Amino acid sequence: MRVLLTGTGGFIGAHTVQWILQNTDWEIVGLESWRPAHVNNAMRLHEVFSELTQEQVSRYRGYQWDLTHAFTEPIKNLIFEKPIDVIISMASDSRVTHSVKHPGETWYNNTQIAFNMLELARNNPVDMFIQVSTDEVYGDAGWDSPGHPEWDTILPSNPYSASKAAQEALATSYRRTYGVPVVITNTMNVIGEWQDPEKFLPLAIKRIDNGEPMTLFAEPDGKTTSRRVWLDAKNMAAALVHICKNTKPNKCEKAQDRPTRYHIIGETELSVAELASIVATKLGKKLLKNIVSGDKIRPGYDRRYALIDQNLKATGFVPPFNFEDTIKRIIQWARKNPHWIFE
């Protein structure tokens, strides 16, 4: 199999590259924009490749391309030197706070990427087009809900989640209009090695290890902090490979037919306070809390995300890593690689 993957230098993209090359015999054509904002991407891919064998690395071909630009013939000739079986459209600007401050920039970037990738698939047929999306398109799950089922009402709360919902809508239209074999995946809060240091888990590791207070947003009662389901990046990559192997995309032949959709969820739901407490215990340090009232949270902040993964479970997917092992592995990695978190 030959896979075209975008955003290969990103946190999740790098894990996907590593998982595919280590656990399959597939070839990858990787596309990365290498913009100034992507300061960690080159280092991330370098470290991924350092853990691979020469044979595994030989199955990767990477190219630089601004995905907000239409594909020219020279780059298409490089991509389709041999037939592509699956496109995984992963690249997006996922900085939610940035989207609140610069909504137009996020909207243009993410919708234009989706459009260009779908146009590429429309004019160069593939067996599957996976549009990677987020749990945030559904909005806040509420405190008592079991979670959003597949194809629940889309209700984004901020410009980032709206841009991801737009990617889904465009992909759905290309399935229904042009027959592009679209599959949509929605993921949760992903954690793992090589995550940008401003994200919650690496930030918690750094501050707790340094004896600094950890800022936690809470409800007016001052106790209930936001809740997330935490997903190992390696489990997400494994799920994508499983989907490629075990899915035949819906044809959308009837008026109400929808593309195949999978929720890729983590196994453990925790509040941010609970996760910080686990990190402190693993580090052997005391957790110092700075509780901030919810009215101080940025606009468009969802208190809880939760998804139901009925469709993916039905395919027989079993995540290879449990939460306990994931946290232990990430903390050990952080200790051995202080340049990612502590410097």
Residues 266-292: tens digit of each pLDDT: 989 999 889 999 999 999 999 998 888
Cβ neighbours for 157, distance < 8 A, ≥ 6 positions apart: 136, 139, 140, 300, 301, 302
CATH number at residue 73: 3.40.50.720
Handedness of CA 208, 214, 216, 221 (dihedral sign): positive
Q: What is the pLDDT of residue 260?
A: 95
Residue 149: which domain range?
Answer: 2-193+231-266+304-321
d(CA 5, CA 7): 7
Inside any domain, residue 275: no
Residues 95-145: tens digit of each pLDDT: 898 999 999 999 999 999 999 999 999 999 999 999 999 999 999 999 889
Inside any domain, residue 137: yes
Tell me the mean pLDDT in the region 311-336: 95
| DSSP state string for 83-149 | ---EEEE------HHHHHH-HHHHHHHHHHHHHHHHHHHHHS--SEEEEEEEGGGG----SS---BP
For the chain, the domain total comes to 1
Give whole-number Cα distances, 95 to 22, 67, 242, 246, 281, in Å.
29, 17, 28, 32, 29
Token readout for 213 is 């207070």
Q: What is the pLDDT of residue 288?
A: 93
Q: What is the pLDDT of residue 216?
A: 85
Inside any domain, residue 328: no
Q: Indicate if the pLDDT at residue 252 is higher than 90.
A: no
Comparing 91-95, 254-258, 267-271, 302-306, the range with the smallest average pLDDT is 254-258
Inside any domain, residue 52: yes
**Count of positions (residues) in the chain:** 343
Inside any domain, residue 215: no
User: Is residue 144 packed enough to be buried (19+ CB in 10 Å), middle (13-18) or exposed (0-12)?
Assistant: exposed
pTM beyond 0.85, yes or no = yes
Mean pLDDT over the full length of the chain: 92
Tell me the mean pLDDT in the region 154-171: 97
Inside any domain, residue 224: no
| Contact status, residue 161 vs residue 134, Cβ threshold 8 Å | yes
Inside any domain, residue 144: yes
Inside any domain, residue 84: yes
Residue showing tokens 């401003």: 198
